[in-house]
Every structure is written in structure tokens, then in C-alpha cells.
Structure 1
């Protein structure tokens, strides 16, 4: 069950703590709350906050009162709850740091930074958000791999993944069914594709995170959160 940190009136939750702590307000990384809530930050405390409307805010202590933003309190509880869950688990999943078990040994490979949040970890099947093409990512690029991409509408295509290459583009025609199956060794992974609409504004990280959250692209959202916090 999600716990909504509120003080005063019970406004709709529209904010998520991406990083930091406000001990006296009971807020920490992963907390969700209303931007209309009164927040207390002691000297030395800070919060990096994601607002449901797609904005980012860093708040430094000392501070007493609501967030210094206009037009607060709207919010979709389902969306901010998903972001909260991703933030809470991002340190324990392979989506941040991009550890991947090597097919040969099962041992974790050394972490390799993804080029950006659009790159989809080949080890994590699920819903994938794309802007033009589906680009797969692997942390361990020490050896050549041969994978097969297929969907029911077109013939399977064998793809060579050269040693040293961390990413691999999947041909556009293989996404015609809205998903693609990738045969990698003895595993078959399905990637359901969500395309970025031409009229959707994702020019800022917070806006891109909002779209990832709406589409259920959890792995990519976690990667983006890690980058947003690190900046």
C-alpha cells in the first residue's frame, strides 16, 4: 500500500522525491506528496523533486512552507506512485548501473553507461519507449553475438551483434506488429513498443520521464531518474 505524506488539507499527490531527505516532514527518496503541502527542511537538507506536470525542482534547506511553484496540487496518483516505486527500487535493480549477467558465465559484467535513456536493456523484456528506432543495449560487449528478431507479420531476421558494440538497432520493419521477439541464446524476450507521438513535447528530462511513466517504460524511466539525480 502506498503511503501519501501529507500535512494540512488532503490535496492530490503530484510530487515525488527523487533524491534527498526532509526528516521533520517525513520525506525521503521515493516519497510522494502534494506540492501544496508545507515542507520543512533543516540547514544542510535538500530534496530533488519531480512534479507530475513534468517539471524538476531542487529545494535546499532551510525552508518552511509549500514548494515555490505556481498552480500546484493537480496530479495523477497512479503516475506519481509509479515514479515513486521506480525511485525506491532503482538502487536494487539492474536498470541503474546497467549490470548484466554474461550468457557464458552468469556473472555480472562491469557496468557500462548507456548512451541515453532511449537505449533498451536487452536483458529486460517488457514495454519499451522509442523515438524512431528500437536500440537494444548490453553491458557486456566482450564477444560477438547472433540474435534473431521476429514478429508474426514478417520473416525472422538474423542480426549480428559485433564484439565491442554495446548497442544494436532493430530494423523498423520488425516493429510492425507493435512488438518484437528477440531470440538471444536460449532465451526469447518480447519487447512491446510505444512510439513517441510527433506532437509530444519531451524537450526537458521531467517531461520525458512523465511520458515514460505514462507508457509503463519502467526500465528506461529508472535510467532517466538516475541521470536526473546525478546532474
Structure 2
């Protein structure tokens, strides 16, 4: 084997290694709703700045950019998407994975199955704390508990490093129960509901996120509040 051939083989091997070692670039946008058949785009599809998109008559795409901006494109349309404002952070990919991995699953998309009857009860307040299970929850300035099954009254106690509330009566027919403001803090929160305990990790939405739904969606996804992020996806799709 000649020297030149050995060099070429070494260069080829190096290029392969670099290709596997290079991190994937963060996406610039994700499709929240709609579809573009020719482009193969559907909810959860990711796009990079400059990607060409073609929509036929009657097709529609609702796209979330890394800046938090949400744009709706209706066909007929042919052109490249912009980069949007803001630096790529990987949060778009997080939202895409959420849409692709959990679409239609009742334990994540925020609509929790009731114990009897198999009916779904909607959670109206996205930043309310669902206590149907334990896990990570995101809150605003107030701490409001939410449950799907409102058939029976319940006695609850909540405690964290910041204080304790209860026992409190959660009346039948009531889905939400506000707790004292001193408990609306980041960190662990244990909620006892009858003989069951929910162990929650609270994360507080920073003021810098603002009120734009797209920015909130990216933040919720990055914070690990999948249930609430999915609720917000559904709300945005309905706009």
C-alpha cells in the first residue's frame, strides 16, 4: 500500500470521527400545528434558518421560533423561513421532543383521567399545580393546587422549607385550591391528600419570561414541566 493511499485512508477515518463527534446544531424552529405534505412537515418537525418550505393551497403551519415568536404560515406559500431573533439554546429541540414523544398521552398532556368513568377534566390554569401525581411543576406568583377528580371532598396539608398550610378542606366540586403565598417558592413541596402524599419540585417562572406564550412554552419545556408545556401547546393551537 502506497504512502498516498495510507494518508487518504487516515484522512477518511478522521472525517468520519469528526462527523460523529460534532454536536448536532440546535434547531431554529419547531412546528406546533399543521402540516406541509410535500415538505414532510408535521407537529414536532424541526427547522433550521433558511430551510425552504412549500405549502399547497389549504395547508397551514404554526411555527415556534427559538425567540419565542409564533408565526402562522398559510398556503399557497413557497420560501425560506427566517432565523427569528434570539440565540439557539436547544429549547426548540426540547419542545419538539415533547410534542413527538407525548402527543395524545393522558399522563403528560395535562388532561388527567378521572378515577371513575374514564372522562377527561381540563386544567384551565396552566400554572396551577396538578396534584394527581408527583413530579416537577412550574408556578407563577401564586400557588394554586389543581385536581382532576372533584367528586369527593378531601383534607390536605402542604409543607415545605418555607412554611406549612393545613389541614385544609378541599370541597367537593372544586378543582382548584389556593395555598398561602409564603409557599409559592421554588423547591420541594409535599402535599398530603387524605392518605396519599404528592412530592413536588416547584420551579418559579422568572419575570424575564414575560407574557408571550411562545417564550413561556420554551421556558416550561426547559424547566422540565412537561405536563404544563403540553397544556400550553394545546392552548396555542386553539388560538
State the Cα distance separating 1:74 from its structure 2 match.
4.1
Cα distance in structure 2, aligned partners of 1:30 and 1:214: 16
TM-score, length of structure 1 as denominator length: 0.82
Alignment partner, residue 154 of structure 2: 145
State the Cα distance separating 1:152 from its structure 2 match.
5.3
Cα distance in structure 1, aligned partners of 2:128 and 2:69: 23
TM-score, length of structure 2 as denominator length: 0.79
Cα distance in structure 2, aligned partners of 1:30 and 1:124: 26
Specify whether residues 156 and 71 from structure 1 end up closer, same or farther in structure 2 by C-alpha distance, changes over 3 A only: closer
User: 5, 19, 24: which one pairs with 2:38?
Assistant: 24
Which has more radius of gyration? 2
State the Cα distance separating 1:114 from its structure 2 match.
2.2
Alignment partner, residue 76 of structure 1: 89
Q: Please report the RMSD computed on the Cα atoms of aligned residues, expressed in angstroms.
A: 2.5
State the Cα distance separating 1:54 from its structure 2 match.
0.6
Specify whether residues 204 and 73 from structure 1 end up closer, same or farther in structure 2 by C-alpha distance, changes over 3 A only: closer
State the Cα distance separating 1:145 from its structure 2 match.
1.0
Shifted more, 141-150 versus 170-179: the winner is 170-179
Structure having the higher helix fraction is 2
Specify whether residues 52 and 177 from structure 1 end up closer, same or farther in structure 2 by C-alpha distance, changes over 3 A only: closer
Q: Is 1:211 aligned with 2:219?
A: yes
Alignment partner, residue 197 of structure 1: 206
Cα distance in structure 1, aligned partners of 2:55 and 2:220: 30
**Where does structure 2 lack aligned partners over 5 or more consecutive residues?**
1-23
Specify whether residues 130 and 97 from structure 1 end up closer, same or farther in structure 2 by C-alpha distance, changes over 3 A only: closer
**Where does structure 1 lack aligned partners over 5 or more consecutive residues?**
1-9
Q: Deviations over 1:73-126 (max 9, x none)?
A: 94222x112211222223223444623333xx5x53x33332221122211322
Question: What is the count of residue pairs matched by the alignment?
Answer: 215
